[in-house]
A and B are shown apart, each in its own frame.
Chain A
Amino acid sequence: MSHYAMVIDTRLCIGCGDCVVACKSENRTPTGLNRDWVVEQTRGRYPDLTTEFRSERCNHCSHATCVLCCPTGASHHWQGSNIVLVDADRCTGCKACIAACPYDARYITPEGYIDKCTFCHHRVAKGLDPACVATCPTHCMHFGDLDQASSRVAELLGKRDYKTLLSGTGNRPNVYYLT
């Protein structure tokens, strides 16, 4: 069982959206639907300002409320890991999982089933980084198994300050932002 995590360095992220384009083409997400998106946050008043860019997506929550509420088991954990996938052939399109995701990470495909970021499990299975991670021009994204102490993600979380999004929901998200 693996504990996959994405670690994104906000000090380096420039908000360029390459991760979004790379995901779009890698995963052929339908027109207008994206598995990841970029948020810009600016604080302060001119000229005392800071900005933070964050590439966001499904957090592959350890306590995945979307999986818990799914009536058919279509939303499930991949191979016992924390990677959350949707099996289109079991999905009724009841949308409970959309309501259950505090991150609004899911969307409805034109065919009527639910889809979202898969952490590119098809690449992970081949030992590759997810498409977004592999393309990011600032090298600010990292992917790996937190249970392996030697992994880059574990190392980074060990030595840098980080945060997760909406930690108050109790979902135990697995996309970490180095600050």
Chain B
Amino acid sequence: MIEELLTTARYHPKVDPSLGIWSWEIPVYLFFGGLTAGMMLLAAWALLTRKEGQAPFAAHRLALWAPIMLSIGMTTLFLDLEHKLYVWRFYTSLQPTSPMSWGAWILVVIYPISILQLLSTLRQGYPKLAGYLTPLPLVPAILDFSERHRLSIAGWTIPFAAALGIYTGILLSGFSARPFWNSAILGPLFLVSGLSAAAAITVLAARDHRERRLFGDIDIGLLSLELLLILLLVLGLANGAQPQLEALDRILHGEYAELFWGWLVGIGILLPLILEIMGRRREIPLHFIAPLLVLAGGLLLRWLTVELGQLSSWNDYPLPFDPTLLQKLQ
């Protein structure tokens, strides 16, 4: 028998007994970051492949929502900081080895691009809004400019948005100290999930039946790919070292098994996949259910990943003292 325990009281908030440094803010940020990336990519794709007719929403309107989603994500990211007034410190250095630093800089680059992207289709997508803005100085000129460069803006959007999408996964997979995260699959997985969420938004928002069909089909592909990547992630854990196996154990047994396989894989991915496939043959009445499930699944994927990663660790010493006793010291 091996008994291992701490003999001195230690109960660091958010660190013991397992990490709880990131609660809802970071998963929400990752979700909206991925969604933004997916929207920008789909919008750019629609323009570059000349799908304005077939996919008017994606081509002209989707882009407007990207900076909004990004702003929501950045707000929650900011909310997570413990030392908020120092947020500007992100921009006093570029740390080449830090995904977080890259992420911070990607965000500043992404913002203007996404604005240009939305402006480039604003007059087509939201003529009324464009009408309100036109009287403002410089706006017509900027609108003209971005419309003129619409395609090259779309071209530029692709690598940066892809970087943003992948980064949301790399941010976590860079932490070798957390066995559950330590997998290169997270980058592509989060990118694909972001795309699938963006496709789901399009399915929800598009008025055109054909456009909905198109993005429904796209989502079938993306969801299938996502499923495959999740299986690869699990396989990777299964072939890992002891800490990885322990992390795997948490989704194979215990309370997280149901969340992971039942809610995430089953209801968040498989069910919408099946619904979309069924919807190909004939329009099913509650067509918005599948995309809503996809969105919920996307959020759950981030939330579970963040949670499971924090639970997985290289060491777990039982803390032998009642933590509430230490509160008496406050």
Q: Mark A63-78, 1 if CB is under 8 A from B, else 0.
A: 0010011111110000
Q: Kindly list chain A residues whose C-beta atoms are within 8 Å of the C-beta of B188.
A: none
Interface residues of A in 40-58 (CB under 8 A from B): 40-45, 53
| Nearest A-chain residue to B91, judged by Cβ | A72
- Which of A71, A90, A165, A169 touches B100 (beta carbons < 8 Å)? A71
Chain A residue nearest to B323 (CB atoms) is: A32
Identify which of residues 1-15 in chain B touch chain A, using a CB-to-CB cut-off of 8 Å.
1-8, 10-15
- CB contacts (< 8 Å) of A169 on chain B: these are 176-177, 314
B contact face: mostly helix, strand, loop, or mixed: loop
Q: Return the contact of A69 from the options B6, B12, B22, B100 (Cβ within 8 A).
A: B100
Interface residue from A33, A89, A93, A94 paired with B12 (Cβ < 8 Å): A33
Chain B positions 156-207 with a Cβ under 8 Å from a chain A Cβ: 174-178
**A42: chain B residues within 8 A (beta carbon):** 1-4
Residue of B nearest to A99 (CB): B175
Tell me how far the C-beta of A1 lies from the nearest C-beta in chain B, rounded to whole angstroms: 19
Identify 18 residue pairs between A and B in the complex whose beta-carbon atoms are under 8 Å apart, listed by A's number.
Answer: A32-B329, A37-B10, A42-B4, A65-B175, A71-B103, A73-B95, A91-B86, A93-B84, A95-B21, A95-B82, A96-B100, A96-B175, A99-B175, A102-B315, A104-B315, A112-B83, A112-B84, A169-B177
A residues within 8 Å of B by Cβ?
A: 15, 17, 20, 31-34, 37-45, 53, 65, 68-74, 89-96, 98-104, 106-108, 111-114, 165-166, 168-170
Q: Which residues of A contact B81 (CB under 8 A)?
A: 92-94, 112
A69 touches B174 (CB 8 A): yes
Across the interface, name the chain A residue whose C-beta is closest to B309. Answer: A99
B314 contacts A72, C-beta separation under 8 Å = no
8 A-B pairs besides A37-B6, A104-B315 with CB distance below 8 A are: A32-B11, A44-B1, A70-B100, A70-B101, A71-B93, A92-B87, A92-B90, A113-B83
B19 near A98 with CB under 8 A, answer yes
Q: Give the chain A neighbours of B11 by CB distance below 8 A.
A: 32
Residues of chain A contacted by B95 (CB below 8 angstroms): 70-73
Is A170 a contact of B176 with CB atoms below 8 Å? Answer: yes
Size category of the binding interface on chain B: 35 or more
Query: By the criterion CB–CB under 8 Å, are B314 and A102 in contact?
Result: yes
Chain B residues whose C-beta falls within 8 Å of the C-beta of A90 in the assembled complex: 86, 89, 92
Residue on A nearest B102 in the bound complex, by CB:
A71
Q: Is B80 an interface position by the 8 A CB rule?
A: yes
A8 to chain B, nearest CB (A): 15
Interface centre among B87, B92, B95, B313 (most CB of A within 10 A): B95
Q: Is the CB of A41 within 8 A of B3?
A: yes
Is the Cβ of A104 less than 8 Å from the Cβ of B15?
Answer: yes
Within 8 A of A (CB), among B86-137: 86-87, 89-90, 92-93, 95, 97-101, 103-104
Residue in B21, B81, B99, B241 whose Cβ sees the most chain A Cβ within 10 Å: B21
Residues of chain B at the chain A interface (Cβ within 8 Å): 1-8, 10-16, 19, 21-22, 80-84, 86-87, 89-90, 92-93, 95, 97-101, 103-104, 174-178, 241, 309-310, 313-315, 317, 326, 329-330
In the bound complex, what is the Cα–Cα distance between A101 and B1 (angstroms)? 28
Report the bound CA distance from A66 to B167 in whole Å: 18
B89 / chain A contacts, CB cutoff of 8 Å: 72, 74, 90-92
Q: Which of A72, A104, A112 contacts B90 (CB 8 A)?
A: A72
B-chain residues with CB within 8 Å of residue A31 when the two chains form the complex? 329-330
Cα of A42 to Cα of B14 in the assembled complex, Å: 28
Q: Are B82 and A112 in contact (CB under 8 A)?
A: yes
Contacting residues, chain A, for B86 (C-beta < 8 A): 72, 89-93, 113
Which of A34, A38, A106 sits near B7, CB closer than 8 Å? A38
Q: How far is the CA of A9 from the CA of B58 in the complex (A)?
A: 66
Contact B93 A73 (CB under 8 A): yes
Instruction: Tell me if B326 and A32 are in contact (CB < 8 A).
Output: yes
Residue among B1, B3, B92 making CB contact with A72, cutoff 8 Å? B92
Candidates A38, A93, A94, A100; contact of B6 at CB < 8 Å: A38
Q: Are B82 and A108 in contact, CB atoms less than 8 angstroms apart?
A: yes
